[in-house]
Structure 1
Amino acid sequence: MARVLIVDDAAFMRMMLKDILTKNGYEVIGEAPNGAKAVEIYKLEKPDVVTMDITMPEMDGIQAVKEIKAFDPNAKIIMCSAMGQQAMVMEAIKSGARDFIVKPFQPERVLEALKKVLG
C-alpha cells in the first residue's frame, strides 16, 4: 500500500484528496498546510508519494519540491494546481515534480497520476 503525504493550505482540499486516496487503498501518512511543514514531514516519514499544492504561505510548493528533491533525489511528487498556473506547474516539473493534477480534483485523474508516478 502506497504511503502518501498531502500538502495543501486549504483543509477541505486535503480532506477531499484524503477521501479519494483512502477509498482507493492508499495510506495517508500525513498532511501539511505549507511547504516548510511538508519538508519536515517528508524527512521524518519518507512517504512513497507527495501531492503538493503550489500556492501556500510560508514556503510555496516549488520551493518545497526543491528542498525535498535535495534531501531525496528519488522523491515522487505530484503538483496540485488551480487553473491558470501553467507557468508555475512547468517550473515545478523542472524542479523535479513528476506530474500534476488540476483542481477541482477528479478522482480518476488523481488515481491515474498516482499510478503513473508510482508505476
Structure 2
Amino acid sequence: MGKKVLVVDDAAFMRIKLKDILNKNGYEVVAEAANGEEAIEQFKSSQPDLVTMDITMPEMDGIEALKAIKQIDGSATVVMCSAMGQQSMVMDAIRAGASDFIVKPFDTERVIKALDKVSQ
C-alpha cells in the first residue's frame, strides 16, 4: 500500500480535491481533519507517514498544529498548504519544521512531486 496521509484543511472541498489527487497517485488517505486541534488527535490515532496541513484554519491554525505534531514526533513529515501571497506564513511554517509547502489551488503534478520528494 502507498504512504498513509492525514489531510488537514478547514474547507471540505479542498480535502476532497486533495484526497482525490492522492488516491489516484498511490497514496492512502487514512484520516482527515478540519482544524489544528482535530489534526493533532488524528495524527496520534492514525499515525500517518505524512500530513498535508492547511495554514489558515479556525480553532488552531496549521503552524500551531505543526509545532504540536513535531513535539509528538520530531520526525513527522508535514507539508503545508497555503493560498497565494502567504509567503511569510510559509517561512514561519518551514522554520517550525514543515518539510515543504504546496500552493493552492492545487496542481496535481506539484502536489505529487512535493509529497514524493518528502516521503523518500
| Corresponding position of 2:49 | 48
Give the structure-1-normalised TM-score.
0.99
- Residue segments in structure 1 that go unaligned for 5+ positions in a row: none
User: Over residues 8-44 of structure 1, what are the superposed CA-to-partner deviations in whole Å (9 max), with x where a residue is unaligned?
Assistant: 0000000000000001111000110000000000011
Cα displacement (A) at 1:45: 1.2
Question: Which residue number in structure 1 is paired with residue 66 of structure 2?
Answer: 65
Aligned AA for 1:45? S
- Count of equivalent residues: 119
Q: Which secondary structure state, in structure 1, belongs to the residue aligned with residue 60 of structure 2?
A: coil
Unaligned runs of 5+ residues in structure 2 are none
CA distance in 2, matches of 1:36, 1:94: 20
Per the alignment, in what secondary structure is the counterpart of residue 80 of structure 1?
strand
SS at match of 2:37: helix
TM-score between both structures, scaled by the size of structure 2? 0.98
Instruction: Tell me the percent identity.
Output: 66
